[in-house]
Amino acid sequence: MPQAMVVDDSRAMRMILGRTLLRYGYGVLQASNGKDALDQLHQNALQVSLFLVDWNMPEMNGLEFVKNLRAEPRFGSIPILMVTTETEADQMCAALEAGANEYVIKPFTDETIEDKLRMLGVIG
């Protein structure tokens, strides 16, 4: 079963996105911020095939997490979907330039997430 990691400081948002991912056959790992996610990845040598990442989080925000992730060759090609309340075009461009593959603005529908996952080629 492929593993996805949802990185968001909102427990409710992690649960909502996790349920969506479970429907598409993903096991779901959760992290409450970028530092927590990196710690889990390094300590457990996790095999993750998809990341859904919020922007605004304590300790390490989503943009910093994406930059850190992309700096490591083993994570260089894993799809990253930013899921955030940030609506400014400059922020969207910054996320994509840092290495995010797609961008979804909260609030979203299940269909929006599904469409983005199809665009990323991670669901059929």
Is it the case that residue 113 has pLDDT exceeding 90? Answer: yes
Report, in angstroms and rounded to the nearest whole number, the Rg of the chain calculated over CA atoms: 13
Structural domains present in the chain: 3-120 (3.40.50.2300)
Q: Is the peptide bond before 107 cis (omega within 30 degrees of 0)?
A: yes
Structure confidence by residue, pLDDT tens digits, 42-82: 988 778 999 999 999 999 999 999 999 999 999 999 999 99
Strand partners, 4: 28, 50
CA–CA gap between residue 83 and residue 87 (Å, rounded): 11
